[in-house]
Structure formats: C-alpha cells, structure tokens
Amino acid sequence: MFLYGRVATNDGTPIPQDVSVEVVCNEKVRQQTYATSDGGFTMQMGSRSDSVLDASDDPSSQQAVPTRPSSEGIPSREFTRCELRTKAAGFRSTNRSLMDLTSSIRSLDVGSIVMERVTKVKGATISAVPYNAPSNARKAYEKGLRAEKIGKLADARKYFEQAVDISPRYASAWFRLGTVLEKENDKDSARAAYTKASAIDTRFLPPYLSLASMAYEAQDWTSVLQFTGHVMALDPLNYVGENSYLVDLDEWNPADAYFYNAVANYKLNNIEAAEKSALKAERVDLLTRAPLLHLLLAEIFTQAKDYALAIAELETFLELYPHAIEGDLAREQVAKLQKLSHSVPSIEKPVQN
C-alpha cells in the first residue's frame, strides 16, 4: 500500500532539504520519510524502510524518540485515526487526514501539500569571504567555475590558483581548487586545499565533507569521525547557501556525512552510534550509497541478533540490486539468518520510557 504526493511552498520558492512527511496516529509519529529536492515523496505504509518514532510516555514531553525501523508498520484499522503531517524549519506544519486510506486501497495520491513560510530559513552560512574578495579574484573564480563545468580542468585549476593568489582567504576558491585537484588525482594537494578552506571558515561545510570522503577512501576511520562530526554538528540538512554559485549544491549530499560516520563507527566497534547514523542516512535517502547502506545495516542488525531486520535489509538490497556482485553472498546470508531466527528464541526487549 503506497501513499504519495508532493510538497510545495506557498511563495513558490524551493522547499528546504529537511522537509519531513510523517504519519501521526493518536498524537504519535508512527512513520516518516523525507521529500525529494523537487518536493515529491512516496511512503510504503507498513514498510520496514519507513522510520518509526514513538512518543514519550511522559505526557509533559513533546519530544519524539527515534527507534529502529518498523518490521510491522501500521495496522489498517488505525488509518482512520491517522493524519499526514509535513514539517520543515521556518514553515508552519501542514496536516492532512488519512481517513480515506483503507485496506482496500493499494495506493493513495494525496496531491500537493502546501506549506506556509513563517520565518526566513537560515542554515550554516556559506563563507562571507567571497563578498570581500577583490573583483579580479572573483572574476578568476567565476572563470574557474565555467572551465570546471565543461571539463577543462587545467584551465579551472589555473583560474582558482589565481583567485587564491590574489585573495588568500578566499575559502570558496580553495574548496573549488581542491575539487579540481582531486579530479586530477592529485590527492595530497587536494587535501591541502580542502584543509585550507576549512581553516578559513569552520561553518563552510563542503570542504569538511570532502575531507571525510578522502579519509573514508583511505580507511582513516578516526579522521572520518572528526570531519563528519563537525558536519553533523552544524545541521547539514538545513545547510542553505546564500549564493548558489559559490558551491554547486547538486554536489552537496548531506546524507553522505551520516553514511561515512556510520561506517567509521562500525569499523571502530561503536555499534550503537553506527546504527543511529545509518538509520539517519536511510531516512535522508542516500541514493548513491544505498547498496552499501543496506548491507551495513544488515551487519549491524545481525551483530545485535535482530535477525528479522537484518533479513529485511538484505532482501531490500536484493530487490533493488538483483544483479549486484554481492548478490550471492547476500542470498547465502539470508538463508543463514533465517535458520538462526528459527533456532534462537525471541527475547523480549524492555520498553523505554
């Protein structure tokens, strides 16, 4: 049973990156997903892949505590007591009743849900240094952007080097120089450029994510935690550039930070932290890392002896990527876990208040 629709803003501006769509039943958030960059969303009701949040039993608490994904979902008899809610920083929440959603309906198009802006959304601000850079530095920087966009890396590198020579504290130019150097496989110089950009402006997040990516490739897990921890602390889902030409926001995927963080924690045997970051990455919809993410969650759940969820992750992986090279191993693992799930008695988990 699928529920789908689109989120839009009342002033026609693009939706922020953190728009969540929740199913709320009896004042409790039961399932949640995130809208895509164009506002679309799809939720498989009762799906394991939707996140489940249980409200605190303390009536004075207004916080929702995230838990593991549901393996059962929402019983159809409860749909009449549920509503759809959209939430985003700077917008008034919008509710939509789900009374029309019954067990006889295979899918429901809720149409457009319009959110009303109430405040100006501000994320971690992109470096203010470009506003103070001399005009010749800005011109060199913009020439570098155009050259990089059409694949002329040597020219782009030359222009970005000119920009930082003229204005040594031009953080955005140092970052773009790093991206070009990395594309040219000059890893050491790229790392130095990213480090320079991050030192100039600690609230400029893209170079930190690039450093995390390089540390991930080098399997330097301690450095991965350092860089991703900085990104995650500054709310990457709300990261909005004041001038989009400074950073190609199509390259900015905040979910990468959660994925890298999850892998690093897992490698360092911080299993609880790894699970938390991996589930966050799954909710943000990490498209480019989805295959590895499902396999990572399967390993985490297996280690926790939560075989049902481990099997669900592996089956999702096989359904989405049936021809992946890891497919045979995943199928073997499913068979092993199915035997374990039948041989090991279920353990009642304590209810967390």
Summarize pLDDT for 320-331 with one digit per residue, the tens: 788 888 888 888
Provide the pLDDT for residue 216. 95
Output the DSSP codes for 38-97.
Answer: TSEEEEETT-TTSB-EEE-S-TT---EEE-PPPSS---GGGGGGEEEEEE-TTEE-EEEE
Q: How far is 13 from 7, CA to CA, in rounded Å? A: 11
User: With 70 as the cut, is the pLDDT of residue 318 above it?
Assistant: yes
Q: Domain 129-251, what architecture?
A: Alpha Horseshoe (1.25)
Are the C-beta atoms of residues 289 and 258 closer than 8 Å to each other? no
Which is more confident, 348 or 207?
A: 207
Six token digits for residue 245: 């030409």
> Confidence class of residue 353 from pLDDT cuts 50, 70 and 90?
very low
Which is more confident, 2 or 274?
A: 274
pLDDT more than 90, % of the chain: 26
Question: Residue 175: in which H helix or E strand, if any?
Answer: helix 171-183
Provide the pLDDT for residue 244. 36
User: With 60 as the cut, is the pLDDT of residue 240 above it?
Assistant: no
Q: How far is 233 from 253, CA to CA, in rounded Å? A: 15
Task: Give the mean model confidence (pLDDT) for residues 133-155.
Answer: 91
Provide the pLDDT for residue 4. 77
Instruction: Please enumerate in sequence order all residues whose Cβ is within 8 A of that of 189, keeping only pairs 6 or more positions apart, or say none.
Output: 181
Provide the pLDDT for residue 262. 93
Six token digits for residue 126: 């992109």
Q: How far is 310 from 299, CA to CA, in rounded Å? A: 7
In the beta sheet, which residues pair with residue 94? 86
Half-sphere exposure in the Cβ direction for 231 (13 Å, CA):
29
Provide the pLDDT for residue 62. 35
Task: Give the mean model confidence (pLDDT) for residues 165-186.
Answer: 93
Summarize pLDDT for 248-259 with one digit per residue, the tens: 545 667 788 899
Task: Give the mean model confidence (pLDDT) for residues 291-318.
Answer: 87
Provide the pLDDT for residue 241. 42
Q: Which fold has domain 2-117?
A: Immunoglobulin-like (2.60.40)
> Confidence class of residue 228 from pLDDT cuts 50, 70 and 90?
very high
Q: How far is 143 from 183, CA to CA, in rounded Å? A: 18
> Confidence class of residue 45 from pLDDT cuts 50, 70 and 90?
low
> Are 2-117 and 129-251 the same fold in CATH?
no
User: Residue 9 has what DSSP assignment?
Assistant: E
If we measure between CA atoms, which residue out of 237, 230, 279, 256 comes closest to residue 90?
Answer: 237
> Confidence class of residue 164 from pLDDT cuts 50, 70 and 90?
very high
Starting from the edge strand earliest in sequence, which strands make up the sheet with 28-34, in order?
Answer: 28-34, 20-25, 82-87, 94-97
User: With 90 as the cut, is the pLDDT of residue 180 above it?
Assistant: yes
Q: How far is 5 from 108, CA to CA, in rounded Å? A: 8
- Candidate ranges 70-79, 129-138, 227-236; pick with highest mean pLDDT: 227-236
> Confidence class of residue 289 from pLDDT cuts 50, 70 and 90?
low
First CA to last CA distance, the chain: 31
* pTM (2 d.p.): 0.60
Q: How far is 40 from 3, CA to CA, in rounded Å? A: 11
> Across all residues in the chain, what is the average pLDDT?
75
> Confidence class of residue 339 from pLDDT cuts 50, 70 and 90?
confident
Summarize pLDDT for 18-31 with one digit per residue, the tens: 788 888 877 777 77
Question: How do the domains of the chain map onto residue ranges?
Answer: 2-117, 129-251, 282-343
pLDDT more than 70, % of the chain: 69
- Alpha helices (H) in 185-289, listed in sequence order: 187-200, 206-217, 221-233, 255-267, 271-284
